[in-house]
Chains A and B, each alone.
Chain A
Amino acid sequence: MSVQIEDSELVRDYISGDEKALEVLINRHNQRITSFIYSKVLDRDITEDIFQDTFIKVIKTLKKGTYSEEGKFLPWVMRISHNLIIDHFRKNKRMPMFEGSDDFNIFSVIGDDKLNAEKQIIKDQINSDLRILVEELPDDQKEVLLMRIYKDMSFKEISENTGVSINTALGRMRYALINLRKIIEKNNIVLTA
């Protein structure tokens, strides 16, 4: 029966110059640390990179002699990898990576949000037509629709402002939309650009 050497002993041996001790430590905790990283980043290559960076930090710290034995070796390494995972996500947030293929054109999904002059005129025309149609609605429905669509108020705010229950406000909004559709169909109005 072989006795497993404690991590702390292997760390001491490594600091004293026994390079083999590092290999034992890496192999002993390889799966645990790699699985931990993979569970967060869900990418094999990134996992490998973070694992490598983690142990580079471990090696540097141990060789510099700045490692304190207050805690255990594995939790300390896990903490380093955890910090590196956070760094990875921070970096990705600042600079999102896009992985495309040759048969996929990124510009087919990224467009210029700004409308050209023609589209802007059409949009203004639709908005103006819609305002005229809204005027045709009964006052209670019109009031709710204007508050919801044009003032961006929640149904709770609408209910407080109009003195009706939320359910009534919701019902009025529903009927307002049904009636708007009816007016559009009845007058054969086309509201698309």
Chain B
Amino acid sequence: MEKIYFEYQKKFSPVKASTETIEFLISYSRALYTVKHDDLKFNVILN
């Protein structure tokens, strides 16, 4: 039973977001800047 279970598990490789996507998100986060004006907040992307 254990063997069958592990054979079954081997067929499904874990799905994960790629490193490129994660790197993009980290870069995006670093570039995103919030500007506050009175009660308003604006998200600005810095180059």
Contact = CB atoms under 8 A, between A and B. Distances in A.
Contacts of B34: 63-65
Contacts of B14: 31, 35
The A interface, classified by DSSP as helix, strand, loop or mixed, is helix
Interface string A33-57: 1110010000010011001100110
The B interface, classified by DSSP as helix, strand, loop or mixed, is mixed
Contact of A30 (B16, B26, B30): B16
Contact-size category for A: 20 to 34
Contacts of B28: 56, 59
Interface in A1-59: 19, 22-23, 26-27, 30-31, 33-35, 38, 44, 47-48, 51-52, 55-56, 59
A60 interface: yes
Given A44-B15, A64-B41, A30 B22 contact: yes
A48 B43 contact: no
B18 interface: yes
A23 B26 contact: yes
A77 B29 CA distance: 16
Contact-size category for B: 10 to 19
Nearest to B18: A48
Given A26-B25, A51-B21, A59-B25, A34 B32 contact: no
B14, B21, B30 pick with most chain A CB within 10 angstroms: B21
B10 to A, nearest CB: 16
Given A19-B30, A63-B43, A31 B16 contact: yes
Contacts of A23: 22, 26
Interface of B: 14-18, 21-22, 24-26, 28-30, 32-34, 41, 43
Given A23-B26, A30-B16, 9 more contacts: A19-B26, A22-B25, A22-B26, A22-B29, A52-B24, A56-B25, A59-B25, A63-B32, A66-B41
Closest A-B pairs by Cβ, 4 of them: A38-B15, A51-B17, A55-B25, A59-B29
